[in-house]
Amino acid sequence: MKQSEISYAGYMLSGDFLMSTPGLWINTNNVTIKDSTLEHNEYSLWLEQSNNSCITNNIITNNMQSGIYLMASTGCIVANNTLSDNDFEGIRIENSNCNLITRNNIRNYSYMGIDVILSDNNTISDNMIISVNKKDCISILGRGNILENNTLIGGGFFVAASKETLISNVFRNNTVNYKPFIFIVNRSETVVNQEAGQVLVAFSRNITIQNIKISNTSIGIIAINSTALALINNDLTDNKLGIFLWMCNSSLIKSNNITDNYYGIYLKESSNNTITENIILGNQYGIFSWNSLNNTIENNTFRDNVVDIEDNLAKEPLFDVATLIKIASIFYIAALISIIMVKIVKHSAKKTFGSVKARVGESSSY
């Protein structure tokens, strides 16, 4: 399909319920979609069990769900597309391996720029991803993926995986807010004392992070399943989470300036840590603790936070690895319902019940 337009597709009335279907659903191999506009659809472009297909130079905007969704697809190329104002993800890759996602411009999404779920050996490179609401730009759950030369603005990376899975992924030359993304996994006795847009530490011990200024991203410093960290004299301002410790123990957070974040410091299943001599100012939550025990919080300066300290021991973990996919699915379905109801109000009856406007240029066959 080339130089075509598809809009207001992907809605189906079934009884009294509005059901959703893709605006354009591909279930065959070696398909090319290029130089086209897909807008105001449900899922705009859904490739399922489609191998060696090519999606290039398209404008994909104002869709209710993912702009491009690869499901169980292999060897596809998604390149040079502009994806904006899609209500959930820019690109979703699920159970799909060995694909190339490159040189796409993704902005103004409500959940995730590129979401990789249970997908292996994909290359994600040279993409520009801009978050306007401090949502993660790229999330990775899979093995052997290569992420290089991506530019992330207003959001950062998120990972949720085992040690072996994380080690198998390669991060090279990525930036967050035009500063280096620092990724440390399975290391010890390391000092990070350099310019950084985001720092992610996983399955490591005796790591020192000091004298770094991080602002305007989803998570400034994220540490996963690590021990004996020292976070000293850092400046974390205007992030969704300033510091996030998940399953980290016996660590020190000292003399940091933590200002104007939603969560200043978030402890998730992290115990026996010391938080001292920090300036914690103007956050929604200064320190938020979830299922974390025996942490020492002393000699900090709290000012103008909505909540200085909140300690939750009885609630279910927010980011439990074992239930991550299940929880994500629940929120995903809830979000779909909410977004669909909003869109119904916006669209006319004709648009709502599935009319498709097609303006065909050179060709509309595939």
Q: What is the tens place of the pLDDT at every residue in 57-80?
A: 999 998 878 899 999 999 999 999
pLDDT number for residue 155: 97
Report yes or no on 364 lying in a domain: no
Residues 186 and 221 grouped into a single domain: yes
Asked if pLDDT for residue 360 goes beyond 80, the answer is no
- Expressed as residue numbers, the domain containing 85 is 1-126+324-352
pLDDT tens by residue, 119-148:
999 999 999 999 999 999 999 999 999 999
pLDDT tens by residue, 87-124:
889 999 999 999 999 999 999 998 899 999 999 999 99
Could you tell me if 20 and 44 are in contact, meaning their C-beta atoms sit under 8 angstroms apart?
no
User: Beta strand 285-290 with 263-268: parallel, antiparallel or unpaired?
Assistant: parallel
**Model confidence at 43, in pLDDT bands (50, 70, 90)?**
low
pLDDT number for residue 359: 31
Residues 291 and 311 grouped into a single domain: yes
Domain count for the chain, please give it.
Answer: 2
Who contacts 16 (Cβ-Cβ below 8 Å, separation ≥6)?
none
Higher-confidence position of 108 and 356: 108
Report yes or no on 139 lying in a domain: no
Residues 328 and 311 grouped into a single domain: no
pLDDT averaged over every residue in the chain: 84
Report yes or no on 144 lying in a domain: no
Residues 181 and 233 grouped into a single domain: yes
Report yes or no on 295 lying in a domain: yes
Report yes or no on 156 lying in a domain: no
Residues 83 and 214 grouped into a single domain: no
State the amino acid at position 293 in one-letter form.
L
Report d(CA 302, CA 268) in Å as an integer: 21
Report yes or no on 165 lying in a domain: no
Residues 26 and 10 grouped into a single domain: yes
Q: Which has the closest alpha carbon to 156: 197, 126, 203? A: 197
Report yes or no on 262 lying in a domain: yes
**Model confidence at 6, in pLDDT bands (50, 70, 90)?**
very low
pLDDT tens by residue, 215-271:
999 999 999 999 999 999 999 999 999 999 999 999 999 999 999 999 999 999 999
Residues 261 and 241 grouped into a single domain: yes
Question: How many angstroms from the chain centroid is the CA of residue 101?
Answer: 15
Residue 21 main-chain phi, psi, to 5 deg: -135, 160
Residues 86 and 203 grouped into a single domain: no
Asked if pLDDT for residue 344 goes beyond 70, the answer is no
Residues 341 and 267 grouped into a single domain: no
Residues 190 and 303 grouped into a single domain: yes
**Model confidence at 22, in pLDDT bands (50, 70, 90)?**
low
Most confident of 5-9, 106-110, 354-358: 106-110
Report yes or no on 61 lying in a domain: yes
pLDDT number for residue 24: 84
Work out the average pLDDT over 166-195: 96
Residues 194 and 262 grouped into a single domain: yes
Residues 202 and 277 grouped into a single domain: yes
Report d(CA 228, CA 273) in Å as an integer: 9
Question: Domain with 217 in it: what CATH number?
Answer: 2.160.20.10
Between 23-32, 70-79, 191-200, the lowest mean confidence (pLDDT) is in 23-32
Report d(CA 188, CA 298) in Å as an integer: 27
